[in-house]
Structure 1
Amino acid sequence: MSLPIVAIVGRPNVGKSTLVNRLTGEMASIVHDQPGVTRDRTYRPAFWQDREFVVVDTGGLVFGDDSEFLPLIRQQAIVALNEAKVAIFMVDGQIGPTALDLEIAAWLRQQPVPILLAVNKCESPQQGLAQAAEFWQLGLGEPYPISSIHGSGTGELLDQLLDYIPPTDPEITTDEIRVAIAGRPNVGKSSLLNAFLGAERAIVSPISGTTRDAIDTVVERDGQTYRLIDTAGIRRRKSVDYGPEMFGVHRAFQAIHRADVVLFILDALEDITEQDQRLAGHIAEQGRACVLVVNKWDAVEKDTYTINDYRHRVYQRLNFVDWAEAIFVSALTGQRVNKVFDFVNQAVEQHRRRVSTAVVNEVVQDAVNGHSPPATRQGRQGKVYYATQVSTQPPTMAIFVNDTKLFKDNYRRYLEKQFREQLGFKGTPIRLLWRGKKPRHGVPE
């Protein structure tokens, strides 16, 4: 990343994610009373005065306990500190200094990064100074009383932050492609992200539900910038309890909404599920481009017909996205992983493609000549006057006809099929808007 990085660290439940949301101006990180909600490091853009920077939220640090995800969370925090220009160490002013705070402070003093000490939950200006004063004993310099929830004291903290953040240099930005990595739990989304980057960017674990936030990572390949968004595994709603997992699933759907293209990850060792079908329907409904990435292909026993049989079964079950290209990969071995970007580029190109009105009408005319619109028993027949593309992302065609009621679903699907056969649009949904002729003097045409 070209912008300087500010890492936020601390023990669990001191309000790190709340501060991230305050600094970035959005509900970017999941906030919940349960410890351990934030596990990966999440990157969010922020600014103060004339400076732009990236805030990194990290999981709560716990030493002397190697259970569950805690060693991995520590590893992620170390990576964030190594990338950072400055770090903010957050503590809880209402509880006061704890043994874990002292242990983390001793560890931070050994790190090669400047540290600012933020004493959170100091909602009262009068009591805040007294609460903050207790933390001088950490040996990290002046403690700044703040309230992440109300924003008090954050201005003073950010003013100090500017000593370590250089003024933003104007630079030419490239056209960024936003890529959401989505799928059910344990299909290998985070492993695929790490395979793209060649680094342990996201925590990978066989325990389903490891990723909860939608995590943005910016990479550049062959002069093109990509924003990769790893998301939480999406389970059936009745399987998701209220709390962090529910918020994570909600963030996953938000990630799909703001993406240009979705890498829909499937597990080659498992059958297509009802939840896969729901997710495919959501991708199509949102109008996102899509690439079907069949992971764990190295573990499948194959013969001459395996790949074609599997591809046929996938398209049959995921008919909502039967226009998407499929690629068979292994995040574990790296097999064909680099080719995924080629599929992304092709899908995005089609998603942004615009076709001239003359070509659109030529396709429609050929379709009508090949198969006339059906007529009613009363002899009224559908007529297509003309068509034009009205927008992209996804490509959207307006079809002007005499009466939209005369064009049933079968004929509408037929016309969409003709657009795909004649114009391609592989990798993107297309939308047809049917527009009827306005009645004259209140009498329908």
Structure 2
Amino acid sequence: MSKPIVAIVGRPNVGKSTLFNALAGEKISIVKDYPGVTRDRIYADVTWLNYQFTMIDTGGIEPESKDLMLKHMRAQAEIAIETADVILFITDVRQGVVDSDFKVADMLRKSGKPVILVVNKVDSFEKFMPDVYEFYNLGIGDPVPVSGASRLGMGDMLDEVAKHFPESATEEEEDERPRVAIVGKPNVGKSSIINRLVGEERVIVSDIAGTTRDAIDTAITWQDKEYVFIDTAGLRRKSKIKEELERYSIIRTVTAVERADVVIVVIDASEGVTEQDAKIAGIAHERGKGVIIAVNKWDAIEKNDKTIYEHTKRIREILSYMPYAEIVFISAKTGQRVNKIFDIMDVVIQNHALRVATGVLNEILMEAVAMQQPPSDKGKRLKLYYITQVAIKPPTFVIFVNDKQLMHYSYTRYIENKIREAFGFSGTSLKFIIRERKEKE
């Protein structure tokens, strides 16, 4: 089940980022140790009571003039309307209601998406309540007073947000078909790949209206198996929003990846793998999805017997944080190896949902510990008691140890490699949670 997406919209200086940071808490969604993964924080995972959602900040570009301002606000609103399940419209009690607030409110109201009107910078309810009432004039419901800086009113705001989340028993839940997202920089050939997959004679295509969003997903049946390609309509029609703004394409990517089981990251062979590719792949990695790297336009490359090897090596270097990703060299134009994507997808889908018996895991753990002694510090040695798999998509393991501080990243990586040696798990990341247990337990 994909997490709901909540988008933040609002003029510059209304305190969007303060609010974003207050909600994201210290759990910043951006991964520290991977080079090339985006640093400007656009999205974060938020947990509130028993709800989990992904929050997206649509803003960030600050136009100079009044006219540009409105254009920018409209673009933000469009993105929010297109991708979000719930929209947080942020205004500023100290600036009061301004003209562009009305215009954006109109757009949001017409969208039919749930909108929560948030009035920020209300550091004292007694003092500012009369000013808050002015925001009723926007005509999008009750204003929710908050202060991002002093974290007042956050709970009430999140309660409002959560009211609009789909009940967990939505139709998406029962849909067992694997969901696939095709992502990548503009012009790497994402839509040609879709059209090529759709265009195969043996493929049956049907459009499904999106359950929670207006995206049109495409069901593709290949050799009696059905796959759902996410919002391929969005790929086929050039988005209304200009793709130049990198931030916007990243937001679309986050939304697509969030809903997918398997992500196909498309790279342009003639350009080779770039920093931007690393950012996009990083989103899929961080979200624990199955990953396939499709190197497109392979027909356009001068080749000798080392070309594939050199390209693979370069991809592995730049995407060093995801050595498990499957790589396939294709040409959407000629159709070369495009069908192979289905075979690789099947493997990745299987691995992404693979469960390993606890007994077998513990045998591997004991053997690994015997082969390479766990690290020690100031005379205290790490002990690993037990491992068990607690989830799939991605496969997630809990390891019980005597002291969390001693369990270095590198030793976790070593255990991961041992598990991969035994079960492959190609195409999917693995997640490890380290828990402490006292000796006596």
TM-score by length of 1: 0.54
Structure 1 regions of 5+ residues with no counterpart? 1-29, 43-119, 122-148, 151-172, 200-212, 234-238
CA offset digits 1:284-341 (Å, max 9, x no partner): 1101001110000111111111111111111111112210111100000100111101
Q: What are the residue-to-residue correspondences of 1:195-206 with 2, within 5 Å?
A: 195-198=196-199
Give the structure 1 partner of residue 430 of structure 2: 430
CA positional deviation for 1:32? 8.7
Larger radius of gyration: 1
CA positional deviation for 1:276? 1.4
Q: What are the residue-to-residue correspondences of 1:351-390 with 2, within 5 Å?
A: 351-376=352-377, 378-390=378-390
Give the structure 2 partner of residue 322 of structure 1: 323
Distance in 2, Cα, partners of 1:339 & 1:32: 43
Give the structure 2 partner of residue 332 of structure 1: 333
Distance in 2, Cα, partners of 1:360 & 1:439: 21
CA positional deviation for 1:215? 4.9
Q: Contact between 1:175 and 1:224, CA under 8 Å: does it hold in 2?
A: no
Give the structure 1 partner of residue 183 of structure 2: 182
| Matched residue SS, 2:380 | coil
Cα–Cα, structure 1 residues 247 and 274, in superposed 2: closer, same or farther, change >3 Å? closer
| Matched residue SS, 1:372 | coil
| Matched residue SS, 2:433 | strand
Q: What are the residue-to-residue correspondences of 1:214-293 with 2, within 5 Å?
A: 215-229=216-230, 230=232, 241=245, 247=248, 249-293=250-294
Cα–Cα, structure 1 residues 322 and 305, in superposed 2: closer, same or farther, change >3 Å? same
Cα–Cα, structure 1 residues 371 and 394, in superposed 2: closer, same or farther, change >3 Å? same
Cα–Cα, structure 1 residues 252 and 232, in superposed 2: closer, same or farther, change >3 Å? farther
Give the structure 2 partner of residue 420 of structure 1: 420
Give the structure 1 partner of residue 99 of structure 2: none
Distance in 2, Cα, partners of 1:408 & 1:174: 39
| Matched residue SS, 2:331 | coil
Q: Contact between 1:364 and 1:387, CA under 8 Å: does it hold in 2?
A: yes
How many residues end up aligned between the 2 structures?
Answer: 264
Runs of 4+ in 1 over 6 A off after TM superposition: none
CA positional deviation for 1:271? 2.7
Distance in 1, Cα, partners of 2:393 & 2:369: 26
Distance in 2, Cα, partners of 1:422 & 1:304: 31
CA positional deviation for 1:264? 0.6
Across the aligned residues of Structure 1 and Structure 2, the Cα RMSD in angstroms comes to 3.5
User: Which amino acid is the alignment partner of residue 262 of structure 1?
Assistant: V
Distance in 2, Cα, partners of 1:295 & 1:247: 23
Distance in 2, Cα, partners of 1:281 & 1:363: 29
CA offset digits 1:127-163 (Å, max 9, x no partner): xxxxxxxxxxxxxxxxxxxxxx99xxxxxxxxxxxxx
Q: Contact between 1:214 and 1:232, CA under 8 Å: does it hold in 2?
A: no
Q: What are the residue-to-residue correspondences of 1:64-213 with 2, within 5 Å?
A: 175-198=176-199
| Matched residue SS, 2:291 | strand
CA positional deviation for 1:33? 5.6
Q: Contact between 2:296 and 2:329, CA under 8 Å: does it hold in 1?
A: yes
Q: Contact between 2:180 and 2:260, CA under 8 Å: does it hold in 1?
A: yes
Distance in 2, Cα, partners of 1:191 & 1:214: 19
CA positional deviation for 1:216? 1.9
Give the structure 1 partner of residue 29 of structure 2: none
Cα–Cα, structure 1 residues 246 and 409, in superposed 2: closer, same or farther, change >3 Å? closer
Cα–Cα, structure 1 residues 272 and 223, in superposed 2: closer, same or farther, change >3 Å? same
* Residue 405 (structure 1) aligned with residue 380 (structure 2): no
Q: Contact between 2:250 and 2:280, CA under 8 Å: does it hold in 1?
A: no
Structure 2 regions of 5+ residues with no counterpart? 1-57, 59-71, 83-109, 112-138, 141-173, 201-213, 237-242
CA positional deviation for 1:403? 0.6
